[in-house]
Amino acid sequence: MVRKGFILVEGIIILTIIALLAVIAVPYLTTSEKVNAQAAKETLRKLSIAAENYASSHSGAYPVSVAELTESIASAGSYCVNATGSTTVVGEYSYACTLAAGGYTFAASPVIAGASGGVTYTATTGGALSPL
């Protein structure tokens, strides 16, 4: 007798193996996204604090260049190409910095659309980070 196809038990075993692999892989993927998002938010907080520190020591005027921002945080150049919103990619996020004497905006967007939760984070004058 020639057998063609799978019997029910073989099919169940294959589905069980696939389910176990999914149970192992999914938490790792979501944890990775959370870690990347947390790193992006932390970077924006640091840049925002640096801009606020600069303003408090310069009579309320915010930095208007990356060079001025680096007075408060040396790594600013890694995240901010210039003060006009051009982007630079670090890790899973693309960072943009807009600097002016009256305020600032820092943004971090996922490099791959839909990756890392697909959320763009921003920090604006006064240290407001959104979304939390």
Q: What is the mean pLDDT of residues 110-119?
A: 72
Entry pTM: 0.74
* Alpha carbon of residue 118 to chain centroid: 9
Beta strands in the chain (DSSP E): 84-90, 93-100, 103-110, 121-124, 128-130
User: Is residue 77 very low, low, confident or very high in pLDDT (cuts 50, 70, 90)?
Assistant: confident
pLDDT at 92: 86
Residue 116 pLDDT > 70, yes or no? no
With beta carbons less than 8 A apart as the criterion, state whether 87 and 94 touch: yes
The radius of gyration of the chain from alpha carbons, rounded to an integer in Å, stands at 23
Residue 114 pLDDT > 70, yes or no? no
Residue 69 pLDDT > 70, yes or no? yes
User: Is residue 9 very low, low, confident or very high in pLDDT (cuts 50, 70, 90)?
Assistant: confident
Q: Per residue in 17-46, pLDDT tens?
A: 999 988 887 776 667 778 888 999 999 999
With beta carbons less than 8 A apart as the criterion, state whether 97 and 108 touch: no
Neighbours of 20 (CB within 10 A): 10
